[in-house]
Structure 1
């Protein structure tokens, strides 16, 4: 009997040292996938990282007989962050489920308004910076630049860090809400009915009285949806007699590569990407109305678009949240037709491609798999450098003015009127000569 007790104690000690547990399994899985799939520019050494965080995991799980996977989440996030690659990230199960819903354009997990909000130091309430189409916010009449000051007669907290949670808690209940709104110098009350909404964010077009068409592209997520819709909206602008166009890519975090290639094809004759990983390369692009993949030197059409081509004056708006596929789109127009780009340097993931991998416990990994190249084999820079540097002015927006958009309209209308664009600064130089 004594021997059996000794063997039992020895087995428990072995299990503790070996960390045969869900947390250990998850760390092993993430390390293996990063080693197998990562193809970006980072120079980290995967084995050294694994050893470092293995030691950390053993400390965290020292008192656990079977250490649960959630004990490893913070360590894995730290490990992945050491790659220094903004396209390589780890998501907890809840966050991964949410990002997959957004990429697929499916429905939200809980009631929402359909707005993007900003806390602005010194300004009361929450500033509305985006109102999504076909959502409760749009139906209630909320506009970009509105400030939400109170909900059901209760003012938002003075503490800036508490305002978002205050709103989320009340929206999540799904009951109708009365919102006190400040719109420039006007106070008003709007009734809004939160509900489960579609997370699909398709481009929209607004035609101004001065003849400028404003094309808002909030995302490139949605295979065979975003690219064709851009062509359709450009066609609508042409039929309406638009004189110039401004493309708003602010806060566009990217999406599906096919869609930015197809969408950019409404403004340049051809788009192309060569994606180089550690072992091989792939090619894809858009020309003559087809999105194609290239195998063995032959183009294999994947889907067809009723293509149009915009030839009029053009400007693009970008900011520090313009990322990934939206950066690709901007590069194509900046290099392909010297389009004016106004705003801030972009997020800095415009030279790589990525995939999402679901892990065994429902969490997820986004991994940079390849580096993006032009036809001549040169790599793209990591971010877009605007032709004209200008930041979003939230205080002006709260007063009803979008200064970045106003500047873009001034410039494209000046070009349309035949004025010398050099009056507004040098034209954007291409990154390479085709």
Structure 2
């Protein structure tokens, strides 16, 4: 009992916030972060550590706030140049900005260049206001949207309480105002028929252990969609809205289209390789079960697959792109991805902040590694205002290619 109490006390002390008044604590805090970055970061060799450490710790000795210490760590991470490592500050609740609250996220993903609605989260204020994919926002709080100001208006258009003038996909124009409505963000996978012989599986970004809040299990929902369109001779896997998250439910969702065996892997700083594999309903990393897919439909022979990507496709979304790259009968269409096909490891710090360090690269089934934006096999411009419609240029190109494949002739 004494041992347990002591362990709890040590843990509690470890999570106390750093005190701005104790300069030595700030120096020790920054020094510890530098140690972790030097030891574990994949791109740690890009930094002249003796020189950088001396300069940073000298500045840390003059720091008088935790934020000043965080800024020094941010500068060090920027020197890595890997575009994926980052520092998450300690989480603190902020009143009035939660999903669905006044001033918070309204639940519609918008293209920043055109303010076209790309996706609407279930049960969100945006859904309640009648916004739908393909709608285009013409005015935000009375200001007309133009190519020159769309990015500046993007944040306001995404907030609860904004007054929007919207042109729907059918041409109708409506004035809407999103009102507070509690919801949890998360888009489920979806499958639909593209033609009589082709189908689409949309795999959006997903965080968490595998459950889409209020909807259900991510992989099971994808598998239900695959089973419902089992007669399709070819599939489109749409990753254009997959900005990352937890890659394991995503791989489990796509596993019936990827096939059994090795799907790809991580190559770590020391050259060690951890393979991603699928078999017997389980996705594994280096032999350790990461996600299970009981009842996944068996697709034999494997159909041809067209993979759609955009500049939004990132991190775990890029892991799916890499997994399909090594699979025969697969071809990609669209834009180059965000360019972070790397794996991060989390390192908790004493005050509740977290270092997320890039520690390895993605590799395909043939051992080729990636750390830059993933170029598609066929680079095509995206037309977000036609996203998911018969006029979508990527769906058109993917359909033409799929129908030319042996399995669809």
**Would you call these one fold, judging by a TM-score over 0.5?**
yes
Following superposition, the deviation at residue 284 of structure 1 comes to 4.4
Match for residue 136 of structure 2? 147
Match for residue 223 of structure 2? 231
Match for residue 254 of structure 1? 244
Following superposition, the deviation at residue 387 of structure 1 comes to 1.2
Q: Match of 1:188, SS?
A: strand
Q: Quick one: structure 1 residues 283 and 248, their matched pair in 2 at CA, closer, same or farther if it must change by over 3 Å? A: closer
Identify unmatched segments of 5+ residues in structure 1: 1-17, 62-66, 99-106, 420-434
Superposition pairs of residues 81-100 of structure 1, within 5 angstroms:
81-93=78-90
Q: Quick one: structure 1 residues 397 and 228, their matched pair in 2 at CA, closer, same or farther if it must change by over 3 Å? A: closer
Q: Match of 1:360, SS?
A: coil
In 2, are the aligned partners of 1:278 and 1:370 still within 8 Å (CA)? no
Equivalent-residue separation in structure 2 for 1:196 and 1:249 (angstroms): 27
Residue 39 of structure 2 is aligned to residue 50 of structure 1:
no
Equivalent-residue separation in structure 1 for 2:142 and 2:177 (angstroms): 14
Residue 289 of structure 2 is aligned to residue 288 of structure 1:
no
Q: Quick one: structure 1 residues 410 and 42, their matched pair in 2 at CA, closer, same or farther if it must change by over 3 Å? A: farther
Choose which of 64, 77, 80 in structure 2 pairs with 1:80. 77
Choose which of 102, 112, 116 in structure 2 pairs with 1:119. 112
Match for residue 214 of structure 1? 200
Please say which of residues 41-50 and 358-367 is displaced more in the overlay: 41-50
Choose which of 186, 189, 203 in structure 1 pairs with 2:172. 186
Following superposition, the deviation at residue 347 of structure 1 comes to 2.3
Q: Quick one: structure 1 residues 138 and 395, their matched pair in 2 at CA, closer, same or farther if it must change by over 3 Å? A: closer
Identify unmatched segments of 5+ residues in structure 2: 1-20, 211-216
Superposition pairs of residues 162-173 of structure 1, within 5 angstroms:
162-167=152-157, 171=160
In 1, are the aligned partners of 2:40 and 2:357 still within 8 Å (CA)? yes
Following superposition, the deviation at residue 339 of structure 1 comes to 0.6
Q: TM-score by structure 1 length?
A: 0.72
Q: Match of 2:46, SS?
A: coil
Following superposition, the deviation at residue 275 of structure 1 comes to 4.7
Equivalent-residue separation in structure 2 for 1:93 and 1:287 (angstroms): 39
Q: Quick one: structure 1 residues 41 and 332, their matched pair in 2 at CA, closer, same or farther if it must change by over 3 Å? A: farther
Equivalent-residue separation in structure 2 for 1:186 and 1:302 (angstroms): 44
Match for residue 406 of structure 1? 396
Please say which of residues 18-27 and 72-81 is displaced more in the overlay: 18-27
Choose which of 185, 196, 207 in structure 2 pairs with 1:199. 185
Equivalent-residue separation in structure 2 for 1:281 and 1:97 (angstroms): 39
Following superposition, the deviation at residue 214 of structure 1 comes to 1.9
Q: Match of 1:273, SS?
A: strand
Match for residue 69 of structure 1? 66
In 2, are the aligned partners of 1:42 and 1:85 still within 8 Å (CA)? no
Equivalent-residue separation in structure 2 for 1:362 and 1:88 (angstroms): 17
Give the aligned CA root-mean-square deviation in angstroms.
3.6
Greater gyration radius? 1
In 2, are the aligned partners of 1:127 and 1:398 still within 8 Å (CA)? no
Q: Quick one: structure 1 residues 191 and 411, their matched pair in 2 at CA, closer, same or farther if it must change by over 3 Å? A: farther
Following superposition, the deviation at residue 74 of structure 1 comes to 3.0
Residue 41 of structure 2 is aligned to residue 38 of structure 1:
yes
* Per-residue CA distance 1:295-324 (angstroms, 9 max, x = gap): 6xxx76864521224433321101222122
Q: Quick one: structure 1 residues 42 and 391, their matched pair in 2 at CA, closer, same or farther if it must change by over 3 Å? A: farther
Following superposition, the deviation at residue 395 of structure 1 comes to 6.4
Bigger helix fraction: 1
Following superposition, the deviation at residue 118 of structure 1 comes to 2.7
Following superposition, the deviation at residue 85 of structure 1 comes to 1.0
Choose which of 206, 212, 235 in structure 2 pairs with 1:245. 235
Superposition pairs of residues 328-367 of structure 1, within 5 angstroms:
328-350=319-341, 352-367=342-357
Aligned residue pair count: 370
Equivalent-residue separation in structure 1 for 2:44 and 2:25 (angstroms): 31
In 1, are the aligned partners of 2:99 and 2:106 still within 8 Å (CA)? no
In 1, are the aligned partners of 2:333 and 2:380 still within 8 Å (CA)? yes
Following superposition, the deviation at residue 156 of structure 1 comes to 5.6
